[in-house]
Chain A
Amino acid sequence: MSSPPQDPFPPPEPGLDAVVRATLDAAANRTDPRPVWNRTLTRLEADQPHHTPASRASRWWRRLPAAGLAVAGLAAAILVVVLLIPAAKQAVASPAEDVQAARDAHEHGSDRRYTQMVTLTHVEADPLAHPVEGGRRAVVWVRGNRFVAQPGWGGTGAWGRDPVGRVWFAPTREAAVRYTEAELPPAIRQAVQIRGLELDALLGGVLADFDLTWADPPTPKAARRVVIATRRGQASLFQVVSAEVVIEADSHLIRSLTLRRILPAGAVATIAFELDTVPINTPVVYTAEGHLNPGSPVYDAATPIQRRLVLRKHFAQLMRGGL
Protein backbone atom coordinates (compact mmCIF):
# COMPACT_ATOMS: atom_id res chain seq x y z
CA MET A 1 0.00 0.00 0.00
CA SER A 2 2.96 2.28 0.27
CA SER A 3 3.52 2.42 -3.50
CA PRO A 4 1.73 5.26 -5.28
CA PRO A 5 -1.61 4.13 -6.74
CA GLN A 6 -2.06 3.78 -10.46
CA ASP A 7 -4.30 6.37 -12.05
CA PRO A 8 -7.64 4.57 -12.30
CA PHE A 9 -8.63 6.73 -15.27
CA PRO A 10 -7.15 5.72 -18.64
CA PRO A 11 -5.75 8.51 -20.82
CA PRO A 12 -8.27 10.10 -23.24
CA GLU A 13 -8.20 9.96 -27.00
CA PRO A 14 -6.47 12.97 -28.57
CA GLY A 15 -8.71 15.78 -29.83
CA LEU A 16 -11.85 16.98 -28.12
CA ASP A 17 -11.77 14.21 -25.52
CA ALA A 18 -8.37 15.45 -24.42
CA VAL A 19 -9.65 19.03 -24.16
CA VAL A 20 -12.63 17.94 -22.05
CA ARG A 21 -10.37 15.76 -19.92
CA ALA A 22 -7.89 18.61 -19.39
CA THR A 23 -10.75 20.82 -18.19
CA LEU A 24 -12.05 18.12 -15.82
CA ASP A 25 -8.53 17.48 -14.55
CA ALA A 26 -7.92 21.18 -13.94
CA ALA A 27 -11.08 21.28 -11.80
CA ALA A 28 -10.08 18.03 -10.09
CA ASN A 29 -6.65 19.43 -9.24
CA ARG A 30 -8.32 22.20 -7.28
CA THR A 31 -10.41 19.72 -5.30
CA ASP A 32 -9.21 18.56 -1.92
CA PRO A 33 -10.46 14.97 -1.58
CA ARG A 34 -9.81 14.79 2.18
CA PRO A 35 -13.06 16.36 3.47
CA VAL A 36 -15.21 14.04 1.35
CA TRP A 37 -13.11 11.03 2.35
CA ASN A 38 -13.10 11.94 6.05
CA ARG A 39 -16.88 12.30 6.13
CA THR A 40 -17.31 9.02 4.25
CA LEU A 41 -14.93 7.20 6.58
CA THR A 42 -16.76 8.56 9.62
CA ARG A 43 -20.03 7.18 8.29
CA LEU A 44 -18.49 3.84 7.38
CA GLU A 45 -16.98 3.41 10.81
CA ALA A 46 -20.15 4.59 12.52
CA ASP A 47 -22.04 1.90 10.60
CA GLN A 48 -19.94 -1.01 11.79
CA PRO A 49 -20.98 -1.48 15.43
CA HIS A 50 -24.66 -0.95 14.73
CA HIS A 51 -25.18 -4.22 12.92
CA THR A 52 -23.57 -6.66 15.29
CA PRO A 53 -25.62 -6.22 18.47
CA ALA A 54 -28.89 -6.01 16.57
CA SER A 55 -28.31 -9.15 14.56
CA ARG A 56 -26.97 -10.95 17.60
CA ALA A 57 -30.13 -10.03 19.53
CA SER A 58 -32.26 -11.22 16.67
CA ARG A 59 -30.53 -14.59 16.55
CA TRP A 60 -30.76 -14.89 20.32
CA TRP A 61 -34.51 -14.41 20.17
CA ARG A 62 -34.86 -17.02 17.46
CA ARG A 63 -33.02 -19.57 19.59
CA LEU A 64 -35.49 -19.16 22.47
CA PRO A 65 -37.71 -22.17 23.05
CA ALA A 66 -41.29 -21.64 22.06
CA ALA A 67 -42.63 -22.34 25.49
CA GLY A 68 -45.33 -19.75 26.09
CA LEU A 69 -44.76 -19.68 29.80
CA ALA A 70 -41.12 -18.74 29.45
CA VAL A 71 -41.91 -16.00 26.99
CA ALA A 72 -44.62 -14.61 29.22
CA GLY A 73 -42.25 -14.64 32.19
CA LEU A 74 -39.59 -12.87 30.20
CA ALA A 75 -42.06 -10.24 28.99
CA ALA A 76 -43.15 -9.62 32.55
CA ALA A 77 -39.54 -9.24 33.66
CA ILE A 78 -38.87 -6.74 30.89
CA LEU A 79 -41.97 -4.78 31.87
CA VAL A 80 -40.79 -4.58 35.47
CA VAL A 81 -37.36 -3.40 34.39
CA VAL A 82 -38.83 -0.74 32.13
CA LEU A 83 -41.11 0.53 34.86
CA LEU A 84 -38.43 0.59 37.51
CA ILE A 85 -35.87 2.39 35.37
CA PRO A 86 -38.02 5.09 33.82
CA ALA A 87 -35.90 7.73 32.20
CA ALA A 88 -32.43 6.32 32.35
CA LYS A 89 -33.08 3.76 29.65
CA GLN A 90 -34.53 6.28 27.17
CA ALA A 91 -31.48 6.15 25.02
CA VAL A 92 -29.49 9.35 24.93
CA ALA A 93 -27.51 9.55 21.72
CA SER A 94 -23.72 9.66 21.74
CA PRO A 95 -22.10 13.07 21.15
CA ALA A 96 -21.23 12.00 17.60
CA GLU A 97 -24.81 10.91 16.88
CA ASP A 98 -26.10 14.18 18.25
CA VAL A 99 -23.75 16.19 16.05
CA GLN A 100 -24.71 14.09 13.01
CA ALA A 101 -28.41 14.64 13.77
CA ALA A 102 -27.80 18.39 14.02
CA ARG A 103 -26.01 18.28 10.69
CA ASP A 104 -28.90 16.48 9.04
CA ALA A 105 -31.44 18.86 10.57
CA HIS A 106 -29.46 21.83 9.30
CA GLU A 107 -29.22 20.44 5.77
CA HIS A 108 -32.98 20.08 5.47
CA GLY A 109 -33.91 23.13 7.53
CA SER A 110 -35.18 26.51 6.45
CA ASP A 111 -33.63 29.94 7.04
CA ARG A 112 -32.07 30.57 10.41
CA ARG A 113 -30.60 33.72 11.83
CA TYR A 114 -27.58 33.73 14.09
CA THR A 115 -25.77 36.55 15.82
CA GLN A 116 -22.06 36.18 15.29
CA MET A 117 -19.51 37.56 17.73
CA VAL A 118 -15.77 37.46 17.08
CA THR A 119 -13.20 38.07 19.79
CA LEU A 120 -9.47 38.06 19.18
CA THR A 121 -6.47 37.71 21.44
CA HIS A 122 -3.32 39.78 20.77
CA VAL A 123 -5.07 41.91 18.16
CA GLU A 124 -3.92 45.12 19.84
CA ALA A 125 -0.31 44.16 19.14
CA ASP A 126 -0.82 43.76 15.43
CA PRO A 127 -4.19 45.11 14.24
CA LEU A 128 -3.38 44.53 10.57
CA ALA A 129 -2.43 40.91 10.97
CA HIS A 130 -5.94 39.56 10.80
CA PRO A 131 -7.95 41.58 8.29
CA VAL A 132 -10.21 38.65 7.46
CA GLU A 133 -11.27 38.47 11.08
CA GLY A 134 -12.43 42.11 11.10
CA GLY A 135 -16.06 42.91 11.88
CA ARG A 136 -16.63 41.86 15.42
CA ARG A 137 -20.39 41.42 15.43
CA ALA A 138 -22.62 40.43 12.57
CA VAL A 139 -25.94 38.85 11.76
CA VAL A 140 -25.64 35.66 9.72
CA TRP A 141 -28.57 34.12 7.88
CA VAL A 142 -28.04 30.53 6.82
CA ARG A 143 -29.96 28.10 4.70
CA GLY A 144 -28.12 24.86 4.00
CA ASN A 145 -24.73 25.95 2.71
CA ARG A 146 -25.83 29.37 1.54
CA PHE A 147 -25.40 32.30 3.88
CA VAL A 148 -25.35 36.05 4.09
CA ALA A 149 -23.52 38.03 6.79
CA GLN A 150 -24.20 41.68 7.59
CA PRO A 151 -22.22 43.81 8.01
CA GLY A 152 -19.45 42.42 5.85
CA TRP A 153 -15.70 42.46 6.46
CA GLY A 154 -14.69 45.82 7.84
CA GLY A 155 -18.17 46.60 9.07
CA THR A 156 -19.82 47.63 5.79
CA GLY A 157 -22.08 46.00 3.23
CA ALA A 158 -22.63 42.27 3.20
CA TRP A 159 -21.00 39.10 2.02
CA GLY A 160 -22.19 35.57 1.53
CA ARG A 161 -22.39 32.42 -0.49
CA ASP A 162 -25.09 32.02 -3.11
CA PRO A 163 -27.16 28.93 -4.00
CA VAL A 164 -24.59 27.71 -6.53
CA GLY A 165 -21.69 27.99 -4.11
CA ARG A 166 -20.12 31.25 -5.27
CA VAL A 167 -18.74 33.55 -2.59
CA TRP A 168 -19.55 37.22 -3.03
CA PHE A 169 -18.66 40.49 -1.31
CA ALA A 170 -20.79 43.61 -1.61
CA PRO A 171 -18.92 46.28 0.38
CA THR A 172 -21.26 48.97 -0.96
CA ARG A 173 -24.51 49.00 -2.91
CA GLU A 174 -22.62 50.27 -5.96
CA ALA A 175 -20.68 47.14 -6.92
CA ALA A 176 -19.96 43.59 -5.77
CA VAL A 177 -17.39 40.94 -6.54
CA ARG A 178 -17.93 37.23 -6.85
CA TYR A 179 -15.66 34.17 -6.78
CA THR A 180 -16.19 30.50 -7.45
CA GLU A 181 -15.01 28.35 -4.58
CA ALA A 182 -12.09 27.12 -6.66
CA GLU A 183 -10.78 30.68 -7.04
CA LEU A 184 -10.49 31.30 -3.31
CA PRO A 185 -7.16 30.76 -1.56
CA PRO A 186 -7.37 28.00 1.09
CA ALA A 187 -7.13 30.40 4.05
CA ILE A 188 -9.98 32.54 2.75
CA ARG A 189 -11.98 29.42 1.96
CA GLN A 190 -11.57 28.29 5.56
CA ALA A 191 -12.59 31.74 6.78
CA VAL A 192 -15.68 31.54 4.58
CA GLN A 193 -16.51 28.14 5.99
CA ILE A 194 -16.18 29.33 9.55
CA ARG A 195 -17.51 32.88 9.37
CA GLY A 196 -20.34 31.87 7.09
CA LEU A 197 -21.39 29.11 9.43
CA GLU A 198 -21.17 26.38 6.83
CA LEU A 199 -22.45 23.88 9.29
CA ASP A 200 -22.35 20.87 7.03
CA ALA A 201 -18.63 21.25 6.36
CA LEU A 202 -17.86 22.39 9.90
CA LEU A 203 -19.73 19.58 11.59
CA GLY A 204 -18.36 17.07 9.08
CA GLY A 205 -14.86 18.17 10.08
CA VAL A 206 -15.79 17.98 13.75
CA LEU A 207 -17.04 14.40 13.33
CA ALA A 208 -13.95 13.34 11.41
CA ASP A 209 -11.09 15.07 13.20
CA PHE A 210 -12.24 15.87 16.72
CA ASP A 211 -12.76 13.98 19.97
CA LEU A 212 -16.31 14.57 21.17
CA THR A 213 -17.53 14.57 24.77
CA TRP A 214 -20.53 15.88 26.67
CA ALA A 215 -19.96 19.03 28.70
CA ASP A 216 -22.21 17.47 31.36
CA PRO A 217 -23.64 13.98 31.47
CA PRO A 218 -26.88 14.30 29.47
CA THR A 219 -30.25 13.46 30.94
CA PRO A 220 -33.22 12.46 28.81
CA LYS A 221 -35.24 15.43 30.10
CA ALA A 222 -32.62 18.04 29.24
CA ALA A 223 -33.89 20.42 26.57
CA ARG A 224 -30.38 21.07 25.30
CA ARG A 225 -27.17 19.10 25.17
CA VAL A 226 -23.68 20.53 25.00
CA VAL A 227 -20.98 18.75 22.98
CA ILE A 228 -17.33 19.68 23.42
CA ALA A 229 -15.09 18.96 20.42
CA THR A 230 -11.31 18.92 20.72
CA ARG A 231 -9.11 18.47 17.68
CA ARG A 232 -7.03 15.32 17.64
CA GLY A 233 -3.37 16.24 17.26
CA GLN A 234 -1.89 19.62 16.45
CA ALA A 235 -4.02 22.27 14.76
CA SER A 236 -2.30 24.14 11.97
CA LEU A 237 -2.67 27.82 11.18
CA PHE A 238 -6.27 28.99 10.56
CA GLN A 239 -7.71 25.66 11.63
CA VAL A 240 -10.37 25.24 14.28
CA VAL A 241 -8.74 23.86 17.42
CA SER A 242 -11.84 23.33 19.54
CA ALA A 243 -15.60 23.81 19.40
CA GLU A 244 -18.61 23.82 21.67
CA VAL A 245 -21.97 22.93 20.16
CA VAL A 246 -25.28 23.43 21.97
CA ILE A 247 -27.98 21.27 20.39
CA GLU A 248 -31.71 21.24 21.10
CA ALA A 249 -32.61 17.72 22.16
CA ASP A 250 -35.95 17.52 20.31
CA SER A 251 -35.37 19.38 17.06
CA HIS A 252 -31.58 18.90 16.83
CA LEU A 253 -31.40 22.60 16.04
CA ILE A 254 -28.06 24.18 16.86
CA ARG A 255 -28.71 26.87 19.47
CA SER A 256 -25.13 28.03 19.59
CA LEU A 257 -21.72 27.17 18.25
CA THR A 258 -18.41 28.48 19.55
CA LEU A 259 -15.24 27.88 17.54
CA ARG A 260 -11.67 28.65 18.53
CA ARG A 261 -9.34 29.20 15.61
CA ILE A 262 -5.56 29.61 15.40
CA LEU A 263 -4.34 32.82 13.71
CA PRO A 264 -0.86 34.11 12.84
CA ALA A 265 1.42 35.43 15.60
CA GLY A 266 -0.10 33.12 18.18
CA ALA A 267 -3.46 34.89 18.21
CA VAL A 268 -6.67 32.97 18.71
CA ALA A 269 -10.05 33.98 17.30
CA THR A 270 -13.17 32.90 19.14
CA ILE A 271 -16.19 32.93 16.88
CA ALA A 272 -19.53 32.46 18.61
CA PHE A 273 -22.85 31.97 16.87
CA GLU A 274 -26.10 32.31 18.81
CA LEU A 275 -29.47 31.45 17.29
CA ASP A 276 -31.77 34.48 17.31
CA THR A 277 -35.06 33.38 15.86
CA VAL A 278 -36.27 31.00 13.21
CA PRO A 279 -37.63 33.35 10.55
CA ILE A 280 -38.08 33.00 6.82
CA ASN A 281 -35.99 35.02 4.41
CA THR A 282 -36.23 35.58 0.69
CA PRO A 283 -33.80 33.64 -1.54
CA VAL A 284 -32.44 36.83 -3.11
CA VAL A 285 -30.69 37.88 0.12
CA TYR A 286 -28.21 35.06 -0.42
CA THR A 287 -27.02 36.54 -3.72
CA ALA A 288 -24.81 39.55 -4.45
CA GLU A 289 -27.58 41.13 -6.51
CA GLY A 290 -29.80 41.25 -3.43
CA HIS A 291 -27.45 43.78 -1.84
CA LEU A 292 -26.93 46.17 -4.73
CA ASN A 293 -28.79 49.09 -6.22
CA PRO A 294 -30.67 48.08 -9.37
CA GLY A 295 -28.31 47.80 -12.33
CA SER A 296 -25.12 47.83 -10.26
CA PRO A 297 -22.47 45.39 -11.50
CA VAL A 298 -21.21 42.13 -10.01
CA TYR A 299 -17.63 41.52 -11.13
CA ASP A 300 -16.46 37.91 -11.48
CA ALA A 301 -13.81 35.89 -13.35
CA ALA A 302 -14.94 37.43 -16.65
CA THR A 303 -13.95 40.90 -15.37
CA PRO A 304 -10.91 40.21 -13.18
CA ILE A 305 -9.44 43.73 -13.28
CA GLN A 306 -12.60 45.47 -12.07
CA ARG A 307 -13.05 42.77 -9.47
CA ARG A 308 -9.56 43.31 -8.11
CA LEU A 309 -10.08 47.09 -8.05
CA VAL A 310 -13.28 46.85 -6.02
CA LEU A 311 -11.66 44.58 -3.44
CA ARG A 312 -8.47 46.66 -3.29
CA LYS A 313 -10.45 49.83 -2.73
CA HIS A 314 -12.48 48.22 0.02
CA PHE A 315 -9.49 46.78 1.84
CA ALA A 316 -7.57 50.07 1.53
CA GLN A 317 -10.48 51.78 3.30
CA LEU A 318 -10.56 48.99 5.82
CA MET A 319 -6.89 49.40 6.66
CA ARG A 320 -7.16 53.22 6.83
CA GLY A 321 -10.19 53.04 9.09
CA GLY A 322 -8.64 50.44 11.34
CA LEU A 323 -10.09 47.11 12.22
Chain B
Amino acid sequence: MLSDDQRKRYEVWALAVIPRAVAYARSVVADPSRADDLVQECLYRLLRRADDYDLERDGVKLLFTAITNLCINQSSREKALISLDSTTDPEEGPAPIADPSALRPDQIAQHRETEEVVRNAIQQLPPLQRAAVELRALGMSKEEIATALGVSATNAGVLVFRGRKALAILLAPLLGNPPGKSV
Protein backbone atom coordinates (compact mmCIF):
# COMPACT_ATOMS: atom_id res chain seq x y z
CA MET B 1 0.00 0.00 0.00
CA LEU B 2 1.06 3.59 -0.51
CA SER B 3 1.94 5.41 2.69
CA ASP B 4 -0.34 8.26 3.76
CA ASP B 5 2.41 10.75 2.99
CA GLN B 6 2.98 9.36 -0.49
CA ARG B 7 -0.71 9.29 -1.24
CA LYS B 8 -1.22 12.90 -0.11
CA ARG B 9 1.82 14.15 -1.99
CA TYR B 10 0.83 12.39 -5.20
CA GLU B 11 -2.77 13.47 -4.90
CA VAL B 12 -2.01 17.18 -4.43
CA TRP B 13 0.33 17.10 -7.39
CA ALA B 14 -1.93 15.02 -9.62
CA LEU B 15 -5.06 17.08 -9.02
CA ALA B 16 -3.13 20.22 -9.97
CA VAL B 17 -1.75 18.69 -13.15
CA ILE B 18 -4.49 16.42 -14.52
CA PRO B 19 -6.88 19.09 -15.89
CA ARG B 20 -4.26 20.70 -18.15
CA ALA B 21 -2.86 17.30 -19.07
CA VAL B 22 -6.31 16.15 -20.20
CA ALA B 23 -6.91 19.43 -22.07
CA TYR B 24 -3.55 19.02 -23.84
CA ALA B 25 -4.13 15.33 -24.62
CA ARG B 26 -7.60 16.04 -26.04
CA SER B 27 -6.06 18.61 -28.33
CA VAL B 28 -3.20 16.52 -29.69
CA VAL B 29 -4.55 12.97 -29.68
CA ALA B 30 -6.08 11.58 -32.85
CA ASP B 31 -9.08 10.16 -30.95
CA PRO B 32 -10.10 12.66 -28.21
CA SER B 33 -12.36 10.12 -26.50
CA ARG B 34 -9.19 8.28 -25.48
CA ALA B 35 -7.49 11.31 -23.93
CA ASP B 36 -8.54 10.60 -20.34
CA ASP B 37 -7.33 7.01 -20.62
CA LEU B 38 -4.00 8.11 -22.08
CA VAL B 39 -3.43 10.63 -19.30
CA GLN B 40 -4.37 8.03 -16.71
CA GLU B 41 -1.96 5.51 -18.21
CA CYS B 42 0.90 8.05 -18.29
CA LEU B 43 0.16 9.22 -14.77
CA TYR B 44 0.12 5.66 -13.49
CA ARG B 45 3.47 4.83 -15.12
CA LEU B 46 4.97 8.05 -13.80
CA LEU B 47 3.80 7.70 -10.21
CA ARG B 48 4.78 4.05 -10.07
CA ARG B 49 8.37 5.25 -10.30
CA ALA B 50 7.91 8.54 -8.46
CA ASP B 51 10.54 7.70 -5.87
CA ASP B 52 13.19 7.71 -8.60
CA TYR B 53 12.94 11.43 -9.37
CA ASP B 54 11.82 14.78 -8.01
CA LEU B 55 8.09 14.82 -8.72
CA GLU B 56 7.56 18.52 -8.04
CA ARG B 57 10.51 19.59 -10.18
CA ASP B 58 10.37 17.14 -13.09
CA GLY B 59 6.91 15.57 -12.92
CA VAL B 60 5.18 17.93 -15.36
CA LYS B 61 7.93 17.60 -17.95
CA LEU B 62 7.96 13.80 -17.69
CA LEU B 63 4.18 13.52 -17.78
CA PHE B 64 3.78 15.74 -20.83
CA THR B 65 6.62 13.95 -22.60
CA ALA B 66 4.88 10.62 -22.01
CA ILE B 67 1.51 11.99 -23.15
CA THR B 68 3.08 13.46 -26.26
CA ASN B 69 4.75 10.17 -27.10
CA LEU B 70 1.50 8.28 -26.76
CA CYS B 71 -0.60 10.85 -28.57
CA ILE B 72 1.45 11.67 -31.63
CA ASN B 73 1.96 8.77 -33.95
CA GLN B 74 5.14 7.95 -35.73
CA SER B 75 3.90 8.80 -39.21
CA SER B 76 3.02 12.40 -38.37
CA ARG B 77 6.37 12.77 -36.65
CA GLU B 78 8.30 11.56 -39.70
CA LYS B 79 6.30 13.73 -42.05
CA ALA B 80 6.90 16.82 -39.95
CA LEU B 81 10.61 16.19 -39.69
CA ILE B 82 10.96 15.95 -43.46
CA SER B 83 9.27 19.30 -43.92
CA LEU B 84 11.55 20.91 -41.36
CA ASP B 85 14.66 20.18 -43.36
CA SER B 86 13.88 22.78 -45.97
CA THR B 87 13.24 25.71 -43.65
CA THR B 88 15.44 28.58 -42.60
CA ASP B 89 12.80 30.19 -40.41
CA PRO B 90 14.76 30.13 -37.12
CA GLU B 91 17.08 32.73 -38.51
CA GLU B 92 14.22 35.13 -39.05
CA GLY B 93 13.83 35.89 -35.36
CA PRO B 94 10.75 35.49 -33.18
CA ALA B 95 7.44 34.70 -34.79
CA PRO B 96 5.59 37.83 -35.86
CA ILE B 97 2.22 37.88 -34.17
CA ALA B 98 -0.83 40.03 -34.29
CA ASP B 99 -0.69 43.39 -32.54
CA PRO B 100 -0.18 42.45 -28.86
CA SER B 101 -2.27 45.40 -27.74
CA ALA B 102 -5.23 43.79 -29.48
CA LEU B 103 -4.78 40.56 -27.50
CA ARG B 104 -6.83 40.29 -24.34
CA PRO B 105 -6.54 36.59 -23.59
CA ASP B 106 -8.81 36.51 -20.56
CA GLN B 107 -11.58 38.20 -22.47
CA ILE B 108 -10.91 36.18 -25.59
CA ALA B 109 -11.37 32.94 -23.72
CA GLN B 110 -14.45 34.11 -21.86
CA HIS B 111 -16.96 33.17 -24.46
CA ARG B 112 -17.26 29.57 -25.44
CA GLU B 113 -17.82 30.28 -29.10
CA THR B 114 -14.69 32.39 -29.31
CA GLU B 115 -12.82 29.66 -27.54
CA GLU B 116 -14.16 27.27 -30.15
CA VAL B 117 -12.69 29.43 -32.91
CA VAL B 118 -9.27 29.40 -31.25
CA ARG B 119 -9.49 25.65 -30.66
CA ASN B 120 -10.46 25.04 -34.28
CA ALA B 121 -7.50 27.12 -35.42
CA ILE B 122 -5.16 25.13 -33.18
CA GLN B 123 -6.62 21.91 -34.57
CA GLN B 124 -5.70 23.00 -38.07
CA LEU B 125 -2.01 22.95 -37.19
CA PRO B 126 -0.02 19.79 -37.96
CA PRO B 127 0.23 17.57 -34.84
CA LEU B 128 3.83 18.42 -33.96
CA GLN B 129 3.34 22.15 -34.41
CA ARG B 130 0.15 21.96 -32.35
CA ALA B 131 1.95 20.12 -29.56
CA ALA B 132 4.89 22.53 -29.68
CA VAL B 133 2.69 25.63 -29.51
CA GLU B 134 0.62 24.22 -26.64
CA LEU B 135 3.63 23.06 -24.64
CA ARG B 136 5.13 26.52 -25.10
CA ALA B 137 1.88 28.08 -23.89
CA LEU B 138 2.06 25.81 -20.83
CA GLY B 139 5.37 27.43 -19.96
CA MET B 140 7.88 24.89 -21.25
CA SER B 141 11.26 25.99 -22.56
CA LYS B 142 12.50 25.17 -26.05
CA GLU B 143 14.74 22.45 -24.60
CA GLU B 144 11.87 20.89 -22.67
CA ILE B 145 9.66 20.93 -25.77
CA ALA B 146 12.49 19.30 -27.72
CA THR B 147 12.67 16.50 -25.14
CA ALA B 148 8.91 16.01 -25.14
CA LEU B 149 8.72 15.83 -28.92
CA GLY B 150 11.91 13.86 -29.40
CA VAL B 151 13.45 16.44 -31.73
CA SER B 152 16.44 18.73 -31.53
CA ALA B 153 16.16 22.09 -29.77
CA THR B 154 16.49 23.79 -33.17
CA ASN B 155 13.64 21.76 -34.58
CA ALA B 156 11.55 22.54 -31.51
CA GLY B 157 12.16 26.24 -32.14
CA VAL B 158 11.10 25.81 -35.75
CA LEU B 159 7.93 24.01 -34.75
CA VAL B 160 6.98 26.74 -32.28
CA PHE B 161 7.79 29.44 -34.81
CA ARG B 162 5.78 27.84 -37.60
CA GLY B 163 2.88 27.02 -35.32
CA ARG B 164 2.64 30.57 -34.01
CA LYS B 165 2.92 31.95 -37.52
CA ALA B 166 0.12 29.76 -38.86
CA LEU B 167 -2.02 30.50 -35.83
CA ALA B 168 -1.54 34.24 -36.22
CA ILE B 169 -2.88 33.99 -39.78
CA LEU B 170 -5.81 31.79 -38.79
CA LEU B 171 -6.76 34.05 -35.89
CA ALA B 172 -6.14 37.35 -37.62
CA PRO B 173 -9.89 38.14 -38.01
CA LEU B 174 -10.48 37.39 -34.32
CA LEU B 175 -7.52 39.43 -33.15
CA GLY B 176 -8.51 42.43 -35.23
CA ASN B 177 -5.50 42.22 -37.48
CA PRO B 178 -5.61 41.83 -41.27
CA PRO B 179 -4.03 38.51 -42.33
CA GLY B 180 -1.41 40.24 -44.42
CA LYS B 181 -0.16 42.26 -41.50
CA SER B 182 0.32 39.38 -39.13
CA VAL B 183 2.90 37.56 -41.25
Binding site for B on A (CB under 8 A): 1, 5, 7-12, 14-29, 31, 33-37, 39-41, 43-45, 47-49, 144-146, 163-165, 183, 200, 301-302
Contacts and interface: CB of A to CB of B under 8 A. Distances in A.
Contacts of B122: 20, 23
A41 B47 CA distance: 9
Contact of A15 (B97, B118, B119): B97
A45 B2 contact: yes
Q: Which of the listed residues B15, B39, B95, B137 has the most CB atoms from chain A within 10 Å of its own CB? A: B137
B51 interface: no
Contacts of A7: 16
B164 interface: yes
B156 to A, nearest CB: 14
A45 B60 CA distance: 22
5 contacts: A12-B139, A15-B97, A19-B105, A24-B137, A302-B113
A168 B43 CA distance: 31
Given A16-B167, A37-B11, A41-B7, A31 B18 contact: yes
Nearest to A14: B100
Given A33-B18, A33-B19, A21 B33 contact: no
B18 A15 contact: no
B149 interface: no
Contacts of B112: 26, 183, 301
Contacts of B11: 37, 41
Nearest to A183: B112
A37 B14 contact: yes
Contact of B56 (A1, A8, A302): A8
B79 interface: no
Given A15-B103, A37-B15, A44-B48, A24 B27 contact: yes
A20 B174 CA distance: 13
Contacts of B89: none
A31 B26 CA distance: 11
A302 B59 CA distance: 38
B158 interface: no
Q: Which of the listed residues A7, A33, A164 has the most CB atoms from chain B within 10 Å of its own CB? A: A33
A9 B139 contact: yes
A48 B44 CA distance: 13
Contacts of A163: 31, 33
Contacts of B171: 16, 19
Contacts of B2: 41, 44-45, 48
A223 B9 CA distance: 42
A3 B24 CA distance: 27
A117 B10 CA distance: 40
Nearest to B12: A5
A145 B43 contact: no
B48 A9 contact: no
B107 to A, nearest CB: 9
B15 A33 contact: yes
A21 B116 contact: no
B13 interface: yes
A122 to B, nearest CB: 35
Contacts of A49: 1
A22 B109 contact: yes
B43 A40 contact: yes
B39 A164 contact: no
Given A25-B20, A36-B43, A40-B43, A164 B31 contact: yes
A37 B116 CA distance: 27
Contacts of B105: 14, 18-19, 21-22
8 smallest CB-CB distances across A and B, nearest first, come from A10-B139, A22-B109, A33-B18, A28-B19, A20-B137, A27-B23, A165-B33, A18-B105
A163 B109 CA distance: 27
Interface in B83-114: 95, 97-98, 100, 103, 105-106, 108-109, 112-113
Nearest to A28: B19
Contacts of A9: 20, 60, 138-139
A7 to B, nearest CB: 7
A44 B41 CA distance: 11
A19 B118 contact: yes
B148 interface: no
